Structure 1
Amino acid sequence: MSTLRVTAELLTVHEHPNADALELAQVGLYRAVVAKGAYVSGDAALYIPEQAVLPDTLIEELGLTGRLAGGAANRVKAVRLRGELSQGIVCRPRALADVDLAQAAADGTDFAELLSIAKWCPPIPPTMDGDVERAPGLLPWVDIENIQRFPAIFEAGEPVVLTEKLHGSACLLTYAAAEEGPGRVQVSSKGFGSKGLALQEDPRNLYWRAVLGHGVPEAAARLAEKLGASRVGIFGEVFGAGVQDLSYGANARSEELGYAVFDVSAEIDGQVVWLDAAELLEGELPLVPRLYEGPYDIDRVLELASGRETVSGRELHLREGVVIRPVPERYSPVVGGRAIAKAVSPAYLTRKGGTEYE
């Protein structure tokens, strides 16, 4: 899940092909449905992204009472309005009436706290929960921004790799080498890992079942020795029926629990670097499918983000999307960190009965 920022943006307004009273306001490559005539291209307005949880007062002001997602009808979710995908909300709240939104857009001001807008945190099922301990040495995963929100992360023609984004739950394993004897293994979820917490070993826990069942600690130890690394992080997706609503033919309630590595990091000579999981772990551990390697083309990215999954080999259901990485790894000034992004299938965003556990 990406970070939540509620910012002012300059809009490009398009005609809605199926509704005379509606238009499409574009932010990055996202489009949100708005009332016709409310904005013109070049206007500045507030953009509230998906997964934002709004306070009741703002919901009432925007005329969205009872129309948002979640049990409390307060969460922003992608929807189709008259056939067009609408992602996020474009508005001008009264609380910002005296704010120069064009200048705020230039400054990148975040209005989430001012407007009491929070990021939605999904509930934690019992199989993904457990006793935790502080883990300052845990190598964390990074939040991945959507390429449609930040289309300038990559340059046209830049060499990239696209891997399939799986709808499971991210599992973080850190192996810390020891001078003598076996190293220390810490396992966490994305949610706990972001708080610097690791899950105590428990054979009933989803993540521990996955890493022990697939021999991930042993693979991490071998990799640390090969690289001369003091720490190795192996990041995998745990999936199957009982994890999320998309199963890929696996089953978390049995020995058929799915697991696939999507990234690797290592601390070498005191510096943490990101490495190619396929190059290092092919034949060692299951890997997420690699769908494309070549020059970056946004149309190709969005095309591959949709379609059917390839993990099972049977195209059992829709694909969540793709993850884009540059070759080689680099820093991105656009997001102020690692150059990595995701593109998500519209069908995935608007599916019914979806789950989003971390």
Structure 2
Amino acid sequence: MSTLRVTVEELAVHPHPNADALELAQVGLYRAVVAKDAYRTGDYALYIPEQAVLPAALIDELGLTGRLAGGDANRVKAVRLRGELSQGLVCRPGALADLDLVQAAKEGTDFAELLGITKWAPPIPTTMNGDVEATPELLPWVDIENLQRYPDIFEPGEPVVLTEKLHGTACLLTYLAEDGRVLVSSKGFGSKSLGLKEDERNLYWRAVRGHGVPEAAAGLAERLGATRVGIFGEVYGRGVQDLAYGTDLHTAETPPAYAVFDVCAEIDGQVRWLDPAEVFSDGELPLVPKLFEGPYSLDAVLEWASGRETVSGRSLHLREGVVIRPAVERYSPVVGGRTIAKAVSPAYLTRKGGTEYE
């Protein structure tokens, strides 16, 4: 998931092609459907992104009672309104009435706490849950920001690599070379430096044991002289999320499907991100599909994000999206961290009956 930030943004307003009483307010590359004449291009307003959970008082103030997603009808979700994709909410809550919105936009002030807005946490099924313990040595995964919110993270023509974003659940494994310990966690638990105690019933442990990930991590640590190795993979398939990629239901004898999407290693006290296709070029571990390698083009990336899945080799269903990273790892001043982003398919965002476990 992306980081939740509720900020004031400058708007560009466009006509709605299918509704005379509606318009489209653009923030970055996101567009949110708004009432006609509510805003003009150059105006400033609050942007509340997808996956934000709103308090009841704010929902009532915005006239959205019963109109949001989730069991409590309080979660912002992408929807199509009169045929146009609407992502997030554009509004001016009363709590911001006396603020200088232009200055707030320049400063990048985050109003989530002030407004009582929180980030939605997906439910955790029993197979993804388990007993946890403090694991401060665990190498955590990072939140990948959406390209539509930060369209300037890459330079036009910059060499990039696009890999398919799989709809599963992220599995974090850290190998400690000093004593050979293996730490396993989910993205949610990992963000709190919590590891899952080994349990043969646990989805993540079954995946890493079934695909030989600890052994691959140990071998990589030895080759690189690393003190820690982090292998980040997606556990996916039937019984994990709603997109199954043509897999059968995993059983006690058959591990769930698994594919590595990132690798890092701590060498001489520095954590370095590595290309999985280079460090595991011999097919030692399954990898997420690489879709494109070449010069960056925003239009091309968005087109790739909306294709069909390639994991099964049969294009069985829609693709969740793509992950974009530079060919040479670098720091991004745009997001203040690692240069990496995702682009998500509109069809994925608006599909019916989707699951979002983490």
**How does the TM-score come out when normalised to structure 2?**
0.98
Partner of 1:81: 81
Partner of 1:340: 340
Q: 2:137 corresponds to which letter in structure 1?
A: G
For the residue of structure 2 that corresponds to 1:152, the secondary structure is: coil
Q: 1:277 corresponds to which letter in structure 2?
A: P
C-alpha displacement of 1:253: 3.2
Quote the Cα distance in structure 2 between the aligned partners of 1:58 and 1:250. 43
- Find the partner of 2:207 among 197, 207, 210: 210
Q: Give yes or no for contact 1:32–1:88 (8 Å, CA) kept in 2.
A: yes
Q: Give yes or no for contact 1:11–1:41 (8 Å, CA) kept in 2.
A: yes
Structure 1 moving runs of 4+ over 4 Å: none
Partner of 2:276: 277
Q: Give yes or no for contact 2:144–2:342 (8 Å, CA) kept in 1.
A: yes
C-alpha displacement of 1:4: 0.3
Q: Give yes or no for contact 1:252–1:258 (8 Å, CA) kept in 2.
A: no
Cα RMSD between the aligned structures?
A: 0.8
**How does the TM-score come out when normalised to structure 1?**
0.98
Q: Give yes or no for contact 2:206–2:255 (8 Å, CA) kept in 1.
A: no
Quote the Cα distance in structure 2 between the aligned partners of 1:253 and 1:328. 37
| CA deviation vs aligned residue, 1:73-111 (integer Å, no higher than 9, x gap) | 000000000000000000000110001111101100000
Q: Percent identity over the alignment?
A: 80
Q: 1:232 corresponds to which letter in structure 2?
A: V
Q: Give yes or no for contact 1:52–1:75 (8 Å, CA) kept in 2.
A: yes
Partner of 1:183: 180
For the residue of structure 2 that corresponds to 1:170, the secondary structure is: strand
Q: Give yes or no for contact 1:250–1:256 (8 Å, CA) kept in 2.
A: no
Q: Give yes or no for contact 1:239–1:252 (8 Å, CA) kept in 2.
A: no
C-alpha displacement of 1:242: 1.3
For the residue of structure 1 that corresponds to 2:258, the secondary structure is: strand
Partner of 1:286: 286
1:260 aligns with 2:259: yes
Quote the Cα distance in structure 1 between the aligned partners of 2:132 and 2:322. 31
C-alpha displacement of 1:66: 0.5
Partner of 1:229: 226
For the residue of structure 1 that corresponds to 2:112, the secondary structure is: coil
Distance 1:252 1:204, change over 3 A: farther
C-alpha displacement of 1:252: 4.8
Q: 1:108 corresponds to which letter in structure 2?
A: G
1:243 aligns with 2:235: no
- Find the partner of 2:197 among 188, 197, 200: 200
Quote the Cα distance in structure 2 between the aligned partners of 1:93 and 1:52. 15
Quote the Cα distance in structure 2 between the aligned partners of 1:121 and 1:318. 24
Aligned length: 355
| CA deviation vs aligned residue, 1:249-286 (integer Å, no higher than 9, x gap) | 22453215110000000000000010001111131100
Q: 1:17 corresponds to which letter in structure 2?
A: P
For the residue of structure 2 that corresponds to 1:113, the secondary structure is: helix
C-alpha displacement of 1:231: 0.3
